[in-house]
Every structure is written in structure tokens, then in C-alpha cells.
Structure 1
Amino acid sequence: MKKLLCIILTLVTITLTGCGFGDSTIRFGAAGLGGMYYSFSTAFTELATKENDKLKFDVKTTAGSAANLRLLSKNYIDVGISQMDLIDDAYYGTPEFNGKKYNGYSAIAGLYKEACQIVVLDKSSIKTLDDLQDKTVSIGASESGTELNATQILKASGLWDNNLVKTKNLDYTDAAKQLEDGEIDAFFCTSGVQTTVVEELAKHASIRFIDIDSKCTKKLKASYKFYDSFTIPANTYTGQTKDVSTLCVKSVLLARDDMSEDTVKELTALLFKHAKDFQYSLQADLDFNESDATKGITIPFHPGACAYYKEKGITVSSEDKN
């Protein structure tokens, strides 16, 4: 009887210590439809399952970066994407998360730069950030990275206090529809370019992008270490004839700590093996490599990712340096 009980407990332990190939379906937190997270997640999981039929995925729509971090920490998803600024806030419990720490996950790889995009109709009178005063603006879905970035941009521009801007929390699809219908005047979108929902809007409605001016850029880069300057090149979107000056943050692929090392190592290898395929399938600038993917990450890497990078001659740590 004791021997039988020991065997049962061993099997239960194996089941709970993470998923290996074929053991279970990997729940992938992908944010909302129309954004780069969802497009990337779909492309990655399709390529991964074609390469290894033992891998199974369930791509789940979520509210975005902040939501993915909470879902990872509470074991509702196994893999997800989030912005590096929010990851640092959540992992170390900064005021953005009311001092509460959300742990239980680690890094696989840095992916691509996400541009802070502010979209208006071409016929709009809005030409600068200051022109957003007294306008109705979508700042992204609740618990999204877009919401955080939009709030910080509006604060840096002196537009957040005293209800100078009427804000709405809309996902990208609803924001694009309401902009076209005249229900809102502008929407924020922090995403890799070319963002699917923005390009679809540009194909049947004339749109423009608002630059983030140098004054606002300097304030934000001085206050938040994860912002960097970014230019959306002309002709990235249909009808976009001028470069757009803005800011960007890095997106990072994450995995729960209790996922098996073998599984995460395999996912990491597939990520870089198909890096060029993502560019073709998503029609976006997603040119990343192992060296760049390990830079600027302030949280531990998953042991499976560490094992992959070690084989490539790159040393990263699975230990919390803080």
C-alpha cells in the first residue's frame, strides 16, 4: 500500500511540475485581435506545431500586457507576451502595480520594438499632442500596455489632469471602428509595426499619425528607462507619406517558471529558427537574433531558455539578481 501511494504521489508531482512535449496544451496569452501580439502568437504557434506535432497550443485573447502578467502569475496561461516596462513594474512591484509583485514567470526572449502610435483621420484638425485637448481619445483596453503608455504620454504633455482629454478604454478593433464612425477623435496603439488593425483601417479610410514631440520624448525618456526613440518609416502603412517620430518599448516572450526546461528550450529554438518566417508571414519588421533578444531584460530567464542560449555561446541567468 505504501509503495502504491508513493507511485501515485510521484506521478502527481510529475504532472504538476510543468508540461513536456505532448503532456498538455500550452495556453498562449496573445492580447486582442488586430494587434501584433495576436498576429505573432498565431504565426508562432502555427510554425511550432508544423515543426513539432507534439506541441499543442491554445491561443487566448487577453486584455494585453498587464493582463498577461497577472494571468501568468496566477497560472491561467503558460506563455505570453508583454512590454518590458510593464514586466519590470509587475515583477518588482512598482507603484504602477500598487507595490504588489507578480512573479511565477521568466523570460524566453526579447522580440521586437513596439511603437507608440497615435492615429487620427486625415481630415482631423488634430496635428499635435496639444490638439488632443477637449477631444475623445481611446487609450487602449484596460490592463494593456497601450493604456500605460498613453497615460504617461498624456501626463508628460500636461493633458491628463483636470479632464483635459476625455478618455475611453477600447481595444484596437473597437477603437478603429469608432474612429472611422466619428465616435472618437483619436486612438493610441502600442504595437509592432505594421499593426494589422491600423493597416486595415488605412486601406479604406485616410488616416494620419501624430508625432510625439521632442519635449515630451525627453520627459518620458528621463522618467522611464525602457522608452527609446523610434521612427515609423514613410510608407509603412497605406497612404502614410511621411516618417512618424515616436517612442517605443521592447516586447518580451515569457513562460511560467514551472514549464519544463525541455519544452521552453524547444520553444526558444523554434523562435529563432523561424525568425525570418515571421517577417514574411506578418509583413512586419521583426528582425531579431539571439544577441539582441537577451539585452535589456531585467528579470530572470527561464532555465530552458538559458540552456538554449548557452549552446549559442550566450550567458544569461535564471537567478533573480535583485
Structure 2
Amino acid sequence: MTSASVSRRRLLKASVGVAAAPAPAACGQDAEPVRRLRFATGPEGGPYNAFGKALATEVAGSGRRLEIAPVSTAASVDNLRKLAGGSVELALTMADAAQDAVLGREPFARRAAVTALARVYVNYTHLVVRADGPVRSLDDLVGRPVAAGAAGSGVQVVAGRLLRAAGLTGERAVKERRLALSASTEALREGTVDALIWSGGVPTPALSTLAGELPLRFLPLEGQVSALREQYGPVYSSVTLPAGAYGLTKPVGTIGVGNYLTARADVPDRAVRDVLEVVFDRWRVLLRDVTAGARLEPRFAISTGAVPLHPGAVAYYRSVYG
């Protein structure tokens, strides 16, 4: 067990005495108004947006006096800014962007009061090129146009860090194009970029569709993981694109980064517990269209690094899992 795991478990034990205190008996749930939580997700058609819509549906069918209102966004960085600014109460975000927000690191001008509800699944970094094209390694990207994520997205963050870790800066820099996934796949199809970088579940439907239209190559990135971990910590990990995904004949090592379900600290504990009850009860449905084969387990869910758990989340995990 790592020291981070021990610290997180101590936090859970120390916090439960206050966070798990029962609500006054006079306030029955039936008498409470329906609480509406705005949920920053991602662009239409993307995995965050799919998760947000699925959660809204499952909460609506749960009988709880809670409404989830998904909000389409540019994704992680945009979501965190909206969360800090108070225009939403919940947000999905990649772990690296969330850590930057909590620590007040670029692209955030100041520390943001972001709390975590759960680490819900892991993104796989995809560096995709045409199999019949000239790019066979990271070094071959020098000076070439690369779709490197939409502005305000978590993909933009991980893509920039990957390119810097690979030494693709200065005279060796690529020509970064700020494109969302749909525009990225179209650009690779048309040949206006030589590569696209994407961070998402496996398989990502848009990439599966592209792989059915033209031969693709997925470049291995496991060699960059240690440099990223050294500079940014354990938000990055080694993962593997499995054989069979996208027609791959053998596994491809790459970079993994978690996705957090986050909330403003002032969201009521009861609302947070209601959300988590639905998430853990219906996780198979919520993740079905996001990433294949994922599981949601408590020991995985509480691993949110520098991002503190919301008191309502602490109470939930302690009450259910001890």
C-alpha cells in the first residue's frame, strides 16, 4: 500500500465523524424540493457528454429528489473554470487538469476549490497516424501538423505535455492544431494533419469508425510515462491499448490518466451521497458507452491524488464500505 493510499484512508476515518452525521429527523426527504445540479460534461457526441446524459437519466429514474442537468462544454479545463466560477455544481475532468486547478498551476491563474466525488475511469492516450503515411515514430512528427485537442480540453493538456516530454519543442516543434475529436478525425482522413492525439476510453467510437475507413497506426507512448510522472506525479500511468481494439493485431503501450467526477465544495452532502449512490448502483450503464471493460470499485474511486474528497463523498464511502 502506498503512502498516498494510507493518507486517503486516514482522511476517510478522520472525516466520517462529522461528515456522516444524520440529518435532522424533522426534515423528511419527501418535504424537500427537488435539487437541481448543473453538470459540466463535454462536447456533443463525446464520452463526457454521453456519461452526463446517462447519469441524468439514471438519477431521474432513481426516485431521488434530485435533477442532473448536463451542460455541453469544451471538456476538462473549461469544466473546471465553470465549476470554480459557480456556473455549474458538478463536472467531469481529467486528473491532470484537476490537479493543476487545485494547485493553481497553468492554465489556471489561481487555486480552485475543487473537490472529488470519484475517480470513475481511465483515459488512454491515442497517437494516431495513417498506416500508409510517413510517420512511424514520435521523431517523425517534427514540423508536421498534429491535431492536439480542442482549446479548453483535457486532451490539449496531455498532448502539450506529451510533445514536450518527447522533445518536440523549439526547432523540433510540431504544428499544433486546436481541433476537437470529430474535426481531428476528419483532418486525418483528408490529410490536412499527419497525426491526431486523443485521450479517451477504449474503444473510442469515432476512432473505431475511422479505423474502418482507412488503415491506421497507433504509435507506442509508454516511453514517455516516466518523464511525465517525474514532472507531474502519479496522475499518469502505463496502460495498454489491447489487441483487437481498432483492429490492432498486438497491444500498444501508452499513457493513462484518470477521469474524476468533481463538485463544488458547497454542494450539500446529501446531494453528493445521492449522486454517488446512483453512480455505484448504475456504473455499468454509465460506462457502457464510454470505455469497454471498465469497473468502478471503491479503492479505485477514492484515488484522487491532490484533489480532496468532498465531505459527502467521504461519508458515502465510509457508510457503505467501512
Given the two structures, how large is their TM-score scaled by the length of structure 1? 0.84
Q: Aligned Cα RMSD in Å?
A: 2.0
Deviations 1:41-66 (A, max 9, x none): 22222222122364323222211211
**Mean Cα deviation higher: 180-189 or 305-314:** 305-314
Paired with 1:178 and 1:126, the residues of 2 have a C-alpha distance of 15
**Residue matched to 1:4:** none
What 5-or-longer segments of structure 1 have no aligned partner? 1-19, 315-322
1:60 to 68, 71, 75: 71
Matched, 1:258 2:269: no
Structure 2 CA distance for partners of 1:144 and 1:306, relative to 1, 3 Å: same
1:101 to 77, 90, 111: 111
**Residue matched to 1:270:** 278
**Residue matched to 2:50:** 39
**Mean Cα deviation higher: 274-283 or 78-87:** 274-283
Deviations 1:210-247 (A, max 9, x none): 11152x3332222221211110101122x222211111
Contact map agreement 1:32 1:172 (CA 8 A) in 2: no
Structure 2 CA distance for partners of 1:144 and 1:281, relative to 1, 3 Å: closer
Paired with 1:61 and 1:139, the residues of 2 have a C-alpha distance of 20
1:165 to 161, 164, 174: 174
Matched, 1:127 2:136: yes
Contact map agreement 2:84 2:264 (CA 8 A) in 1: yes
SS where residue 245 of structure 2 aligns?
coil
2:148 to 139, 145, 150: 139
Contact map agreement 1:28 1:60 (CA 8 A) in 2: yes
What 5-or-longer segments of structure 2 have no aligned partner? 1-30
Deviations 1:134-187 (A, max 9, x none): 211011011211111111111111112236311110111111111111111111
**Residue matched to 1:114:** 123
**Residue matched to 1:223:** 231
The correspondence of residues 63-74 of structure 1 with structure 2, limited to 5 A, is 63-74=74-85
1:84 to 83, 87, 95: 95
**Structure of higher RCO (CA pairs closer than 8 Å, 6+ residues apart):** 2
Contact map agreement 1:43 1:281 (CA 8 A) in 2: no
The residue identity in structure 2 corresponding to 1:272 is F
Contact map agreement 1:64 1:143 (CA 8 A) in 2: yes
The residue identity in structure 2 corresponding to 1:125 is P
Contact map agreement 1:265 1:305 (CA 8 A) in 2: yes
Deviations 1:255-280 (A, max 9, x none): 12222221110100111111223344
Structure 2 CA distance for partners of 1:166 and 1:89, relative to 1, 3 Å: same
1:196 to 205, 208, 226: 205
Deviations 1:63-88 (A, max 9, x none): 12111111001011111111222211
Runs ≥4 residues deviating over 3 A:
20-25, 278-283
Contact map agreement 2:119 2:303 (CA 8 A) in 1: yes
SS where residue 254 of structure 1 aligns?
strand
Q: What's the offset of the Cα at 1:22?
A: 4.9
SS where residue 212 of structure 2 aligns?
helix
